[in-house]
Chain A
Amino acid sequence: MLKGKYVLLSLAAALVCWQVAGINNANSGIVDPCKSTVTANAGVVLVCPLGDGDLLTAPVGGGNSQITLTVKDVANVAIAGIPATDMWLVGCNDGLLLCGGSQGSNADAATTAGGVATFSNEPVAGGCDTGLYAVVQGVIIQDINNCQPKCLAIAVRSPDYKSAGAPGPAPCGGDTRCPDSKVTNADFSWFVTHYPTTGNPGATYLACADYAAPLGAPIGLADFSKFSVHFAGAGHKCPI
């Protein structure tokens, strides 16, 4: 009888040990945006609705702005195996129009055993924004220090800044942003307003029209050349 109790207690202890060990390796599967982290070097990239902009690994002027994301749960345990399609980028100021929705800016691959994923490709998008948020399963990753949305200082600028109208969004005036996922005469006309000419020598500088090095005023030939790569001929557009 006594021997049987010892056996039972031993089995119970073993079960507890097995469960504790299991806890160390398992995660809840629920992303904690404040425990997760996202980092990248600052940079500027041109993005295009066709997807042939600047890679995050090759921003304007050199360097590398690849984004590294580490996803963790509330217990600070890394979450592996989150599909790439569950992670995407958006503009910090809602300034980007992603081609095909979130699939226009998915991660390179699923999270690793350490919960890590990277973003090497620029968003496939129109618009303009001063920074990027990383989103995991619909939740914006926060700054681990203050649990506020972490805006990465990667400026994103597209030659698709304006809408040509129906069937796209309504056109908009001035420097108001209204991308329509295609680079059209509306975008060219807007770009020209920021390009110094004899008739408009004091054209105002707008960072959203500054696509090429050297960055900064005034908008120059390199910016025009880069814009035209996506405009001249058949203007680039979102294929979806």
Chain B
Amino acid sequence: MKKALAGVLAVALVGVIAGSAMAQVPNVQVYFDQGHTQAQADCGTSGTTATLYVVMNNWNMNVTGVDFSISYPPSLVWLADVLPDPSTQVSIGASPGGIAIAYANCCFLDGFQNNIVLLPFVLWGPCDCNQGPQPLVVGGYTPLGKTSPTAVRKEDFAEFQGVGMTSLICAGVIATEPSTWGQVKALYR
């Protein structure tokens, strides 16, 4: 149990550290709110649906295409991908295995702002925070062998690689049995 607790802490710690370190790096991250401020959430009610918000952060260029994949935890069942503006955006694939999104000439993304690029529609399944944090990981467009998100610059169609971020369900760890910091530290010795 102690090992499990340590693992949980480590995952949460990595998520937090990665989150701050990657703040200015071009990245793609899943948020739980439309204002894209919440990259962590507690379990939702099983059987209810929710919308996630995939955001491109810090790309600082005009974007005419982006691709990535999302690894969903067992507690989130992917149902569908919704484009923010289907009238000017097209996509190929689906987020669990890899999705590519491209934009009309009129309506490319101003990557100097952080834009929502996809709205995955999900169903909450059985979810227990006592089981520890569950990562929601953004990866590359796997059918093309990519391991990280990439985006295409409008002016010259050059492709750039970013970082796939990890969001967490149940980031706040709840100890299930009494412990001390000393005992936790001992796990790493």
Contact B142–A220 (Cβ < 8 Å): no
Q: How many residues of A contact B (CB 8 A)?
A: 27
Which residue of B is nearest A233, CB measured?
A: B104
For B157, give its contact among A222, A230, A232 (CB under 8 Å): A222
Digitize A174-202: 1 where CB-to-B-CB distance is under 8 Å, 0 elsewhere: 00000000000000100010011111110
In the bound complex, how far is the Cα of B100 from the Cα of A221, in angstroms? 7
**Within the complex, which residue of A52, A221, A222, A229 is in contact with B104, where a contact is CB–CB below 8 Å?**
A229
Q: Which of A198, A230, A234 has the most CB of B within 10 A?
A: A198
Q: Tally inter-chain residue pairs, CB-CB below 8 A.
A: 88
A26 within 8 A of B: no
Residues of chain A at the chain B interface (Cβ within 8 Å): 52, 188, 192, 195-201, 212-213, 218, 220-222, 224-234
Supply 7 A–B pairs (Cβ within 8 Å), ascending by A: A188-B90, A196-B143, A221-B102, A225-B152, A228-B104, A229-B64, A234-B104
The 3 nearest A-B residue pairs measured at CB: A225-B65, A198-B97, A228-B102
What would 14 more interface pairs be, CB under 8 Å, given A213-B158, A222-B157, A233-B105? A188-B90, A196-B144, A197-B97, A197-B98, A198-B94, A199-B97, A200-B143, A201-B143, A213-B157, A218-B144, A221-B100, A224-B65, A228-B103, A233-B88
**Which residues from chain B sit less than 8 Å from chain A, CB to CB?**
64-67, 87-90, 92-94, 96-98, 100, 102-107, 141-144, 150-152, 157-159
